[in-house]
C-alpha cells in the first residue's frame, strides 16, 4: 500500500498524480517512468495531492488503461492496478483505523479520567482538614470553625465538580472532531524498463522532476545506448500470429533469394523463416518478420515508417519561423517497399544537369545514384526500430 506520507510530499521523479483516468496522460506517464527509474501512478488525486472532485470507477480506469496501451510501443511491463482506500480529514490522508483499535481506545479513556478526578478529590479533602485544624486554635474557635467547615465543604464539592453548577459545557466548533470521508485511489507501480519506449507519435518521454519531458535527438541516442535491450529485431511481436504474414511477400522473397544464390529453396518455408529470424521457435512472428512480410508493419510497429521532407535551405525553419520544408510525406509498408518509395521520392526531387562531350549529351545527377541508394538502404535496414 502507498504510504500517505509520500502523498503529502507531492509529485516528483517517482510519483505522479492523475485526477481522472485519461488514456493519454496514463500512457505518457507509463512511458516516462519506464524510460527513467520507474515510479508510481496514482489516479484519483489532483496535482496538489488533494482528492479529485469525482472518484473514478474501476470500469473507467480499466477502459482508460486499455486505450492507453495502444498509444505507445513496445508494451510496458508493469504491476497490476491496485485499489486503495484512505480516510480524508481536514485535507490530510491517512490509512483507516481498525474498528477494534478505536473501541479499545474509547474504553480506556474514561478509566483514566475517573482516576484523575478521584485523585483531585482526595487532595482537596486533605487540604480542607488541615485548614480546619489551624482555625480551631484561634480565639473565635467555635464561630470560625463552623464557617470554615462550611466553606471548606463547598470548596471540596467544587473541586470534585470543577464545572460547578454548569455540569456540562459545549465544545467549540473548532475543537470538535472533523468529519472524515473515504477516498478511493488507484495505484500502479511501474518498474524501470530495459527497453526504450516511445509514444505512437514518435515522442520519447522521461520523468524530469514532477512532469514528463520529451527528449531531443541526441538525448534519445544517449538513452538508447544506456539501455540493455539485446537483439530487439529477434523479439516476438505481441498479438501477431503466423497468419499475419503475407504469403505473396514470402514468395517474392524466395524468388529473389533464388535469383541471388542461383538455386531455389526446396525446404519448408517455416524452417527458412526460423533460420532468418522471422519467427520464433514456437512460430510467433518477430520484429524482423513483421517488417519484411506484412503489408502494413506500422500496425504493429508504428515507429517503423519513413518521413521524407524537402527543405529549401539548410535550416529546419524558414525566415518566418515556420517549418522550412516545401514537401513532406510519410512512407509506410514493409522494408523493401520503403526503400523503393524513398528512392523514387528522392530521385524525383534531385536536380539533373546535362554535359555535352563531343557529340554526346551526358546527364549528371546532383548526387551519385549508387551513393544515394546505398544511404537509403543503410538508413532503413540498420536503423534502431525501438525508436
pLDDT at 292: 94
Which residue, 178, 17, 11, is CA-closest to 88?
A: 178
pLDDT at 370: 86
pLDDT at 249: 94
Q: Per-residue pLDDT tens for 281-335?
A: 889 999 999 999 999 999 999 889 998 888 877 776 666 666 667 788 999 999 9
pLDDT at 278: 92
In 227-368, alpha helices (H): 247-261, 269-275, 287-293, 335-349
The b-or-e profile of 55-77 (16+ CB within 10 A means b, else e) is ebeeeebeebbeebbebbbbebe
Divide the 387 residues of the chain into consecutive groups of 10 and give the mean pLDDT of each group. Answer: 75 92 95 91 90 87 92 84 76 52 40 46 46 46 49 47 38 50 86 87 92 88 68 84 92 89 86 89 92 93 88 71 77 93 90 79 83 89 79
Beta strands per DSSP E along the chain: 15-18, 39-43, 72-73, 82-89, 92-94, 180-190, 198-199, 205-208, 211-214, 306-311, 325-331, 352-357, 360-365
pLDDT at 235: 87
Q: How far apart are CA 59 and CA 61, in angstroms?
A: 5
Amino acid at each position: 500500500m502507498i504510504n500517505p506520507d509520500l502523498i503529502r510530499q507531492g509529485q516528483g521523479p517517482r510519483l505522479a498524480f492523475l485526477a481522472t483516468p485519461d488514456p493519454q496522460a496514463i500512457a505518457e506517464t507509463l512511458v516516462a517512468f519506464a524510460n527513467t527509474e520507474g515510479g508510481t501512478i496514482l489516479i484519483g488525486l489532483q496535482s496538489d495531492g488533494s482528492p479529485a472532485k469525482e472518484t473514478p470507477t474501476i470500469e473507467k480506469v480499466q477502459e482508460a488503461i486499455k486505450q492507453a496501451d495502444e498509444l505507445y510501443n513496445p508494451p510496458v511491463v508493469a504491476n497490476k492496478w491496485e485499489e486503495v482506500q484512505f480516510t480524508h480529514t481536514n485535507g490530510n490522508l491517512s490509512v483507516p483505523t481498525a474498528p477494534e483499535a478505536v473501541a479499545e481506545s474509547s474504553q480506556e479513556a474514561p478509566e483514566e479520567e475517573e482516576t484523575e478526578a478521584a485523585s483531585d478529590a482526595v487532595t482537596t479533602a486533605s487540604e480542607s482538614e488541615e485548614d480546619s485544624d489551624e482555625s480551631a486554635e484561634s480565639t473565635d474557635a467555635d464561630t470560625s470553625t463552623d464557617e470554615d467547615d462550611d466553606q471548606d465543604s463547598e470548596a471540596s464539592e467544587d473541586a470534585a465538580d470543577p464545572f460547578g453548577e454548569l455540569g456540562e459545557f459545549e465544545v467549540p466548533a473548532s475543537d470538535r472532531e472533523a468529519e472524515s470521508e473515504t477516498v478511493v485511489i488507484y495505484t500502479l507501480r511501474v518498474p524501470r524498463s530495459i527497453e526504450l519506449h516511445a509514444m505512437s507519435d514518435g515522442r520519447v518521454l522521461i520523468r524530469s522532476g514532477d512532469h514528463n519531458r520529451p527528449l531531443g535527438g541526441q538525448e534519445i541516442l544517449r538513452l538508447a545506448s544506456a539501455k540493455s535491450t539485446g537483439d530487439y529485431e529477434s523479439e516476438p511481436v505481441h498479438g501477431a500470429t503466423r497468419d499475419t504474414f503475407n504469403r505473396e511477400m514470402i514468395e517474392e522473397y524466395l524468388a529473389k533469394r533464388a535469383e541471388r544464390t542461383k538455386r531455389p529453396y526446396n525446404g519448408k518455408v517455416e524452417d527458412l523463416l526460423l533460420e532468418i529470424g522471422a519467427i520464433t521457435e514456437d512460430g510467433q512472428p518477430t520484429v524482423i518478420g513483421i517488417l519484411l512480410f506484412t503489408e502494413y508493419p506500422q500496425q504493429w510497429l508504428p515507429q517503423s515508417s519513413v518521413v521524407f521532407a524537402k527543405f529549401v535551405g539548410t535550416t529546419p525553419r524558414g525566415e518566418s519561423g515556420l517549418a522550412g520544408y516545401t514537401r513532406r510525406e510519410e512512407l509506410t509498408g514493409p522494408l523493401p517497399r520503403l526503400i523503393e518509395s524513398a528512392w523514387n521520392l528522392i530521385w524525383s526531387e534531385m536536380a539533373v544537369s546535362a554535359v555535352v562531350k563531343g557529340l554526346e549529351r551526358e546527364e549528371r545527377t546532383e548526387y551519385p545514384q549508387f551513393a544515394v541508394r546505398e544511404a537509403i538502404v543503410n538508413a532503413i535496414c540498420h536503423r534502431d526500430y525501438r525508436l
